[in-house]
Chains A and B, each alone.
Chain A
Amino acid sequence: MTTLAGSALTVRFGHGDRALTAVDRVDVDVPEGATVGLVGESGSGKSTLARALCGLVPLADGEVLIDGAPVRRQHGRAVDRHRRVQMIFQDPFSSLNPRMTVGDAIGEAVGAGKGASRRARTEAVGRYLDLVHLDVAVAGRYPSRLSGGQRQRVAIARALAARPGVLIADEITSSLDVSVQSAVLNLVRELRDELGLSLMFVSHNLATVRYVSDFLAVMYLGRIVELGPTEVVVADPRHPYTRALLAAVPSLETAAERGPADLELGDPPDPHHPPPGCHFHPRCPVGPVVVPERQICIEQDPRDGADERPHRTFCHFASASSNSAAPATPREEQVHVGCDR
């Protein structure tokens, strides 16, 4: 069992006018054995945050804590303890070395730490392939001979072979075909429960994240704007952006009567020059564009005082559940639902 946390994580790319703060002082916490879902649109910085937690992008500020202790990196290479955090990538076509057989790729993960004997390594490869429900014969093949779903299983096996405590899954189903996605999702859930892993599940698909996660973090322009137990956030979203995301999820059940949601959000702003104060204010349906007296949204960073608001929401008006798209149910009951896992 391992915990992973990020404290005031900041990642910047570029210099001068083209500088981009992809992750902006983010605090995030993956508790032992829990699954944290990270949802956001493209450009929100969710993948960068995932990579920062794995030590794949340099931090401008803040630190990554594994089991409560900060991680040091040497020459960009993970020190032994950082092997406790492994990532599964979106595209299994680019996350596997085309010049290495499946067996070599998994074997490398088994033996990268210490010099395991050849035989022990072969046995371990078979064991990990079995764990992801692949035939041992796959070990001798190159990735180009496998289907997308099989490749993603290999990528999962490789991550597991490092015996991690925390897995970070970055959009692992979005490049797969629909009928294969559910099998990979089931596999990840099954392995998490079986091996007692902590999991961070990153996706743009809210329905998928909700299905997998205990906690839900919503990211917008480099910041986590709302974070709470999944059922609570879904039932009682406090940030107007979370509400918009929830309203946008296409739903088969309600499609016949509802049709596409009427969202007047406008286009996302240029991430190189994020709006001042609350990043969401130019698109916000309860912000200064609609309610002119709410100048505080333009002037003040909503992170101040977030700890006092429900779900640590980065919204000055989160406590007043005004204009809520969510059903009005007593809050105590929802909290109970959220903690019941």
Chain B
Amino acid sequence: MSEPSTSRLRFALRTPVGIAASVGLAAIVVLAIVGPVLWSDDAARLDILAAAQGASRAHPLGTDALGRDIFYRVLVATRLSVTLALISACFGAAIGIPLGAIPALVGGRVGKLVTGFINLSVAFPTLLVAIFVAAVAGVGARGAVAGIGIAIAPYFARLSQTLSSSVAGSDYLAAARMLGVRRARLLRRHILPNVAEPLLITVTIAVGDSLLALAGLSFLGLGVQAPQYDWGRMLSEGLSQIYVTPVVALGPAVAITLGALSFVLFGEVLAKAAAGGGGVRWTRSDLSFVSLPPAGDGADARPVPGVLSVEGLTVSFPGGAVPVRGVTLEVAPGEIVGIVGESGSGKTLTAMAIADLLPAGGRMTANRFSLFGEDPRTLSDGQRRRLLGRSLAVVYQDPMSALNPALRVGRQLGEVAEVHDGLSKAQARQRATERLRSVRIGNAEARVRQYPHELSGGMRQRAVIAMGLMGEPKLIIADEPTTALDVTVEQQILRLLRDVTASGGASAILISHDVAVVSQLCSRVFVMYAGRIVEELDVAKLVSGPAHPYTAALVASVPTMRSDRTRPLASIPGRAPGPYDDEPGCPFAARCPRASERCRREMPPLEPHSPTHRAACWHPLDGLEDVAV
């Protein structure tokens, strides 16, 4: 196990479930080892006078038909029950895992045949197969183990097939093959370490399942035969007395349940540790505005006319992450502004905070927040939803995630109009068709009846834009709308965005990591770095003279069709501070060639450089010197 997953395992074992599972498992292991040694005699002692009795002080779980103490017998039976379960699980794994690896290793017709066989055998009910094999192999412990092993083998095969094919398709295996690494080493160093973890987890869970299945077979009389006894056999014997002394069946039943539970839970804990923490979910969270404090001292918090005006926007997450720090943005009617930044700069979260779409747990604060002349924070949930639903449209990077794959395109677009404008189904569909036509989707009447996966990538992004146009948006937020698209399609989408904003009089915020893409549409650009806006400038200034060294380096580091091919590109050493870092001073200071002592000590404010140009830098460039970093 690699470093990070060991620490995750330690963490998972400290959770309540983790503690319960490990205590249970440890108890079983200890019992299996010492049980028969300590209590075999007690368990075998006949006490005819006390035969078939219920709970008593001498026999807390009662006695069987021959007067033997059930409690001791349950303890002693631990070893046999668990050993048989272990053997069957390992037997199943030993058959299933290599079988499942065959398609990835061999491929071709044999691989297909094996895949088909695995699929077919998974369809058979496990217990039925186990009973059948056990009956054929001969009644007894050996037959039961063989039966269960063979019955669970297909599940191992299926898992190992999935795992091995994913590793076989990985780039690191391709790289190793290119290096001429030998097959044995490929298996040992590249394939096994990457499939071992999930397989181990499954084996652990399978032990629990086998424990149950074995108990079932023994209960049916197909498993362990007298004079040997396991929990299943004891349960079967206890059942004949259940109406007289029900407690007799209770002991083995509890043992089976606890035993199986311990193994299965332990497997789950392992799986959780291996999978790591869950990702953040992006949802429209009604919580995100709740904690807003009153406006800052002296700041004018009243909403202003216009499309968007936000001052001192900060986004924080529990645990101390502050990915957006004091952003001030204004968007005038009909204006298209760009936000440029690298991953982690906070550009997307800024936009999502404005759209009330922060991930769960995210909190937004601002000194002033005015959207379409209202402060969304003062509105009720319903009013806010109506305001945002009708006037704000969001276009995402991946159009497939914005479209419901199970709904026809027309239905999805129509829903917006049905909910917000109260149109009938037919009217909504009519409008959807019109809007699809307005984003230049040919044959719109047929397209409304198609599902998202039937459209090409560019067409899907058009459909998402059309969905945003179903209301009458005053602001379109486009977050990397062309990053997943090809260049020829990219230009079409950018042009479309420009046309729809122009024809509807809407404003837009275009977010991108690509300065060139932003420059195609926008007049004004905000450059973000480490959660802050470091520069606000006209597009023309991006080339002719940015003031902030980061902007200059960002522009110079991207090759263009006019870059000098004989010279190396400008590059920025080091990396940006993360959302948890809270160093004083300019966040770019550590990577900046112009940084001074003051930069490391004091955060420069965003100050006007010229009427349309603001930069947060103590030592701004004046546009004349060489900007190469």
Contact = CB atoms under 8 A, between A and B. Distances in A.
A183 interface: yes
Interface string A224-267: 00000000001000000000111111111101100111110101
Contacts, number: 220
B2 A99 contact: yes
B178 A179 contact: no
A179 to B, nearest CB: 4
Contacts of A41: 486-488
A206 B486 CA distance: 11
B149 to A, nearest CB: 29
Interface in A255-282: 255-256, 259-263, 265, 267-268
B194 A253 contact: no
A263 B494 CA distance: 11
B489 interface: yes
Interface stretch (B73-81, B121-129, B283-291, B516-524): B516-524
Nearest to B455: A267
Contacts of A108: 176, 179, 181, 185, 189
B517 A250 contact: yes
A260 to B, nearest CB: 4
Nearest to B482: A250
A42 B490 CA distance: 12
Given A96-B172, A179-B557, A252 B516 contact: yes
A19 B569 CA distance: 42
Interface in B481-532: 486-492, 494-495, 498, 513-517, 519-521
B561 A182 contact: no
Interface in B539-598: 539-540, 542-543, 553-555, 557-563, 565, 568-573, 575-576
A94 interface: yes
A263 B343 contact: no
Interface residues of A, number: 80
A268 B456 contact: yes
Interface string B446-461: 0000000000101100
B590 to A, nearest CB: 13
A159 B172 CA distance: 11
Of A86, A109, A247, A256, most B-chain CB atoms within 10 Å: A256
Contacts of B571: 179-180, 182-183, 186
* Residue in A79, A96, A99, A155 with the greatest tally of chain B CB atoms within 10 Å: A99
B625 interface: no
B516 A82 contact: no
A252 B555 CA distance: 9
A329 to B, nearest CB: 16
B181 to A, nearest CB: 5
A97 interface: yes
* B179, B494, B571 pick with most chain A CB within 10 angstroms: B179
Interface string A140-182: 0010110101000001001100100000000000000111111
A99 B177 CA distance: 17
Nearest to A91: B171
Contacts of A98: 2, 194
Given A91-B171, A142-B2, A179-B342, A263 B491 contact: yes
Nearest to A261: B491
A178 B491 CA distance: 20
B174 interface: yes
A55 B486 contact: no
B495 A262 contact: yes
A99 B180 contact: no
B174 A82 contact: no
B563 A256 contact: no
Nearest to B180: A78
17 contacts: A83-B179, A91-B171, A94-B170, A96-B172, A100-B190, A100-B193, A142-B3, A182-B570, A206-B561, A207-B558, A207-B559, A211-B559, A249-B487, A252-B519, A252-B555, A253-B543, A260-B495
A-B pairs with the 9 shortest C-beta distances? A255-B519, A182-B557, A95-B171, A99-B193, A211-B559, A41-B486, A182-B569, A250-B516, A260-B494
Interface of B: 2-4, 170-172, 174-183, 185, 189-190, 193-194, 342-343, 456, 458-459, 486-492, 494-495, 498, 513-517, 519-521, 539-540, 542-543, 553-555, 557-563, 565, 568-573, 575-576
